Amino acid sequence: MKKIALVLAAIAYSFSAPTYYTFTGKVTFLVGDVGGYAASHGIHAGSPVTYIFAVDTSRNAYTRFDGITDVKPDSINVGTGYRADYFFDSLIAPSLFSPAVTDTASGSYLGYHTATIIEMKSRYSLAFQTMIGNPDHGTQILFYLPDSGFVDFMPKVGTAVSASESYLDSSAASFSASLSMTLTAISNTRPSNGLRPIASAASSWFGADLDGESLLLRNHSGNKAAVRVMDASGKTVVTLSMGEKAALPASHLPRGKFFLEVTSPGRGGPVMQAFYH
């Protein structure tokens, strides 16, 4: 195990304001209604629906399941000509099935812009994706634009998208809705009525980004923080104590998936984050 000296770094830490995308449309058809939730709540083909996403392309996408936050870096596979650039999105309007989900602390806030090379030509696609709850009991909302462009890839007002919402719970209840949706509004002002809260950052007081050369750490607890780096098996490989900012060289990090465990006085239980290196 390594005990290393901190490398201080002057790093700006801020998020831009999110942009709000409002989609309106209707249910086109339901695939199964095991457990009868859709029928008992009057959900059927033709039901009108509205979905609103808060989107911030400068902010990390992440999942949070079983108390562990998994931050999503860019994913590149040169061998197959595929690249995915992940960004944060959060569904903030109640969805068809979100009222059935009891675990609101878990979820996935994972938008992505992909580039795929097919027969020497590049194809670009875009998705907004939020999961409320966890894979064993949750609902997943996916809005997909198959031809998004390269630079100016966000949808415009009037754009029709392929969309679906699927629900599953541990009692084997399940249903899926196919949706016909159109982007009807884009705003920098948060809509005010009847909305879910935007998902929080991966942590309200601790942030970390893996930039290829180093792991950049930001501690806003007001106290020193104890950081433990663990490999995929849970073995501790690095420990350190940090102030407000620090950088951990990539050479000190485990290859593949690894975990950060961070604690600071007065901040309750540890922050857990997962990374890929």
- Nearby residues of 99 by Cβ (< 8 Å), 6 or more positions away: none
Other beta carbons less than 10 A from residue 62's beta carbon:
21
Place of tokens 């931050």: 71
Quote the tokens at residue 111.
């938008």
Q: Give one word for 158, left, alpha or beta, with left for phi > 0 and alpha for psi -120 to 50.
A: left
The answer on pLDDT for 171 being more than 80 is no
Q: Which of 275, 92, 117, 277 is nearest to 198 (CA)?
A: 92
**pLDDT for position 119:** 67
What are the residue ranges of helices labelled H in the chain? 37-40
The most confident of 70-79, 167-176, 252-261, by mean pLDDT: 252-261
State how far the Cα of 29 lies from the Cα of 31, in Å rounded to an integer. 7
- Nearby residues of 5 by Cβ (< 8 Å), 6 or more positions away: none
The answer on pLDDT for 6 being more than 60 is no
State how far the Cα of 64 lies from the Cα of 205, in Å rounded to an integer. 16
Other beta carbons less than 10 A from residue 161's beta carbon:
22
Pairing of the two strands 236-242 and 2-3: parallel
Domains within the chain, CATH numbers bracketed: 2-13+203-276 (2.60.40.3080), 19-187 (no CATH)
- Residue-wise pLDDT for 50-89, tens only, equals 999 999 988 888 888 887 888 876 666 655 677 788 889 9
Q: Please state which of the ranges 42-51, 62-71, 173-182 shows the lowest mean pLDDT.
A: 62-71
Q: Which of 274, 211, 277 is nearest to 62 (CA)?
A: 274
Quote the tokens at residue 240.
């350190």
- E strands in the chain: 2-3, 19-34, 48-56, 61-65, 68-72, 75-77, 82-91, 107-109, 111-118, 121-134, 137-145, 160-168, 174-187, 206-210, 214-219, 225-231, 236-242, 245-249, 257-263, 271-276
